[in-house]
Amino acid sequence: MSNELKSRRDFLNQSGGGLGGIALASMLGENLQAKGVLGEAHHRPRAKRVIQLFMAGAASHLDLFDFKPELVKRHGEKSDFGEHVEAFQNGLGPWKKPVWEFSRHGGCGKLLGETVSPLGEVVDEMAFVHNMIGRTGVHSQATYLQATGFDRPGFPGMGSWVSYGLGSMNQNLPTFVVLPDHRGFASNGPKNWGSAFLPAVHQGTIIRPGTPEPVTHLYPPKSARFLTPAAEEAAGNLLEKLNGTYASERGGDSRLEARIRSYELAARMQMAAPEALDISKEPAYIREMYGLAPDGTRWPKEINWKEEADYFGRKCLSARRLLERGVKFVQIWSGNDNGFPRRNWDSHEDIERDHGPLSRGMAIGAAALIQDLKQRGMLEDTLILWTTEFGRMPSTQGSKGRDHNPFVFTNWLAGGGIKGGVTCGESDEFGYKPADRKNPTEVYDIHATILHLLGIDHEALTFRKDSIDRRLTDVHGRVIKGIIG
């Protein structure tokens, strides 16, 4: 009998929600919100927190990070891939050289496209993986794959797994924060950071810095004038008392205690969130470093790099402040859904037009973030991942664009446990497929590596759903040793 109950303990611990789990949690005196399922890391962690920079629409590896002299040489010649290619929109025009000049940066001498040259300052902190492959060239599936490890809906985002495994460092703020592009969501929208089958406490919380209500429901609607600050404070006390009575009359149900606590935490978040997001007291040199324009700057209608730098920089700066206050995982998005005028990286028509401002803005913000974390001593335990849906083709689409390339693309990582200034995994001479087609890198490997650096064995962080022990890396994943310092 008691054995039977014990054997159920694992399941109940995993189920998180539900009656059984709650009752058991009360027995064990656990606080449901704070603790991760792992309790202790599997091994000594190198990183405590993660920032994921996600370029929506698929950023071109060829024009930013993965220099291909062969394309410069053969620019304009009829493209020949040596095999049948299924392009997404048949963008198989002539070979196309990178839009920007490449030059060497840092002690490692890494070649970077001129448009991302601000990253040159920190390139010795960065590790590049140029042989990433995806599964399909369809945005939604590819976004899901990079965000959740599965190419379809229904799976938790990477940040949700991290929250589930490691728990919270500051309950006054969400553990997993998402800073979406203010112009709209990427493919799949919030499903990219949903908790899916994991308990909802692990889902990504959208924060919109600089807006009156940076977290949904943080304050009552403005129109509700009867909810004065005094009424709010008194309501908090009143609920604590009445719900306290209700709970005390029903001993043994920890959910009712947790509920009282959740209202306390809510009140604390109302204080903590605005403070965390208030960048007005950041010194001028920091604001400048992140590429921030003066507040209230008016921007032209056309896309331009200063505006992009301002948007992306504000997110990066907000991310740093959130991380300083104990947030564990921040996901920053660049680029919205496919609309016109284009404000994402899906440059079918014109690489220079979209990638130019977006990449320059991104590079300024990302470089500042790395430098800033370093000068605060946070870089050594903050892991940064730059990723996207897939790459773009070495051939031309139309006259100035590039089609989707799920066959190869680039990721880079920096910070917590990463060996800087290295490249691990090359693409072929055209940047069409991995140089070694038999040994590509996949998102599972990136995820396994990130979990590894967080002290988690990616095969051991699981959640049972419909008879399958689900994990972030499905049945795949190997830690990329070559980029670990």
Partner 1 sequence: MKDLKRPAFPGGTEEENPVDRFVRAKQREFGLQAKGRADRRTLARRLAFNLRGMPMPLERVEAFVRDERPEAYRELVDELLASPRYGERWARYWMDIVHFGETHGYDKDQPRENAWRYRDYLIRAFNEDKRYDRFVKEQLAGDVLWPGTEDGWVAPGFLSSGPWDLIGHMEVPESKTDGKVARHLDRDDMVMVTMNAFCSLTVQCAQCHDHKVDPVSMKDYYSLQAVFAALDRADREYDLNPVVAEKRKGLERQVLDLDVQIKGLSELVDGAKTEEIRGLETKIASEDKGRSGRYGYHSQVAGSQNEVKWVQLDLGKVTKIDEVRIFGADEYGFQDFGFPHRFRVEVSEIADFAEKEVIGDFTREDFARPGAEAVVVNGRDVAGRFVRVVATKLWSRRHAGQAPSADWIFALSELEVISSGRERKGVAVTALDSIEAIPRWGKANLSDGLTGTGVKPVGAGDRERLQKLLEAVAGDSLKEKKNCEQQLIEVRKKIQGLPKPQKAYVGMVHHGSGNFNGRGGVGGTPREIRILNRGEVTQPGEVVEAGTVPGIAPGEVIFQLKKNHPEGDRRVALAQWIVHPENKLTWRSIVNRVWQSHFGQGLVETANDFGQIGEKPSHPKLLDWLAVEFRDGGGSLKDLHRLILNSQTYQQSVGDNPANREIDASNRYLWRQNRRRLEAEAIRDTVLWVAGKMNFEMGGPSFRDFVIEKPQHSPHYQYHLANPDDPETHRRSVYRFLVRSQPQPLMEGLDCADPSLLVDRRGETTTSLQALALLNNPLMVRMAEHFAERIGDGKDVVESGIRMALGRDPTEEERKLLGGYSRDHGVAAMCRVIFNLSEFSYVE
Chain positions 346 to 365 lying near partner 1, rule: CB under 8 A, are 349
Give whichever of 33 and 371 is closer to partner 1, judged by the CB atom: 33
Residues 456, 464 contacting (CB under 8 angstroms): no
Give least dist CB 375 to partner 1, A: 32
Binding of residue 255 to partner 1 (CB under 8 A): yes
Binding of residue 306 to partner 1 (CB under 8 A): no
**Residue of the chain from 119, 132, 256, 448 that contacts partner 1 (CB under 8 A):** 256
Q: Read off the tokens for 278.
A: 């208030």
Give whichever of 102 and 432 is closer to partner 1, judged by the CB atom: 432
**Residue of the chain from 43, 78, 242, 297 that contacts partner 1 (CB under 8 A):** 242
Measured CA distances, 298 to 163, 205, 214, 310, 343 (Å): 38, 29, 21, 11, 18
Give least dist CB 28 to partner 1, A: 9
Q: Mark the segment that binds partner 1 (CB under 8 A) among 81-89, 308-316, 319-327, 455-463.
A: 81-89
Give least dist CB 152 to partner 1, A: 6
Binding of residue 472 to partner 1 (CB under 8 A): no
**Residue of the chain from 35, 78, 228, 271 that contacts partner 1 (CB under 8 A):** 228
Give least dist CB 235 to partner 1, A: 5
Binding of residue 238 to partner 1 (CB under 8 A): yes
Binders of partner 1 among residues 101 to 120 (CB under 8 A) are: none
Binders of partner 1 among residues 263 to 282 (CB under 8 A) are: 263, 265-266, 268-270
Q: Mark the segment that binds partner 1 (CB under 8 A) among 232-240, 315-323, 358-366, 417-425.
A: 232-240
Binders of partner 1 among residues 20 to 49 (CB under 8 A) are: 20, 22-24, 26-27, 32-33
**Residue of the chain from 64, 133, 138, 443 that contacts partner 1 (CB under 8 A):** 138
Give whichever of 281 and 438 is closer to partner 1, judged by the CB atom: 438
**Residue of the chain from 235, 297, 299, 481 that contacts partner 1 (CB under 8 A):** 235
**Residue of the chain from 51, 116, 247, 461 that contacts partner 1 (CB under 8 A):** 247
- Report d(CA 390, CA 413) in Å as an integer: 16
Binding of residue 302 to partner 1 (CB under 8 A): no
Three state DSSP letters for the chain: CHHHHHHHHHHHHHHCCHHHHHHHHHHHCCCCCCECCCCCCCCCCCCCEEEEEEECCCCCHHHHCCCCHHHHHCCCCCCCCCCCCCCCCCCCCCECCCCCCEEEECCCCEEEEHHHHHHHHHHHHEEEEEEECCCCCCHHHHHHHHHHCCCCCCCCCHHHHHHHHHECCCCCCCCEEEECCCCCCCCCHHHHHCCCCCCHHHCCEECCCCCCCCCCCCCCCCCCCCCCHHHHHHHHHHHHHHHHHHHHCCCCCHHHHHHHHHHHHHHHHHHHHHHHHCCCCCCHHHHHHCCCCCCCCCCCCCCCHHHHHHHHHHHHHHHHHHHHCCCCEEEEEECCCCCCCCCCCCCCCEHHHHHHHHHHHHHHHHHHHHHHHHHCCCHHHEEEEEEECCEECCECECCEECCEECCCEEEEEEECCECCCEECCCECCCCCCECCCCCCECHHHHHHHHHHHCCCCCCCCCEEECCEEECCCCCCCCCCHHHEC
Binding of residue 3 to partner 1 (CB under 8 A): no
Give least dist CB 175 to partner 1, A: 10
Give whichever of 260 and 303 is closer to partner 1, judged by the CB atom: 260
Give whichever of 77 and 275 is closer to partner 1, judged by the CB atom: 275
**Residue of the chain from 104, 109, 245, 436 that contacts partner 1 (CB under 8 A):** 245
In the sheet where 126-132 sits, what is the strand order? 205-206, 176-179, 329-334, 49-55, 382-388, 409-415, 126-132, 422-423
Give whichever of 83 and 86 is closer to partner 1, judged by the CB atom: 86
Binding of residue 262 to partner 1 (CB under 8 A): yes
Binders of partner 1 among residues 148 to 207 (CB under 8 A) are: 151-154, 171, 174, 184-185, 187-191, 194, 196-197, 199-201, 205
Give least dist CB 322 to partner 1, A: 15
Give whichever of 100 and 155 is closer to partner 1, judged by the CB atom: 155
Residues 75, 96 contacting (CB under 8 angstroms): yes
Binders of partner 1 among residues 449 to 468 (CB under 8 A) are: 464, 466-468
